[in-house]
Amino acid sequence: MAEEIKKEVVFSKEQLKNSKSFEKYKDIVTVVMADDEKITKSELQKRIDKFLKKEVK
């Protein structure tokens, strides 16, 4: 039996910025992603959570 590998779909910065899922985090998406980077929604959510937990200086 072959091992099943699940791959998450990756999205560009523009796609994620314009998605309804991250609509209220547009500005944060701009900060936590490079312009040419492609990541999964779950990875972006981790980055947003980390960003929001940072201490304000």
Cβ pair 12, 38 in contact under 8 A: yes
Dihedral of CA 18/38/6/41: which sign? negative
User: How buried is 24 (Cβ within 10 angstroms: 0-12 exposed, 13-18 middle, 19+ buried)?
Assistant: exposed
Dihedral of CA 18/19/22/23: which sign? positive
Residue 13 pLDDT > 80: yes
Instruction: Give the helix/strand (H/E) hosting 49.
Output: helix 41-53
Whether the model pTM is above 0.85: no
| pLDDT tens track for 34-45 | 999 999 999 999
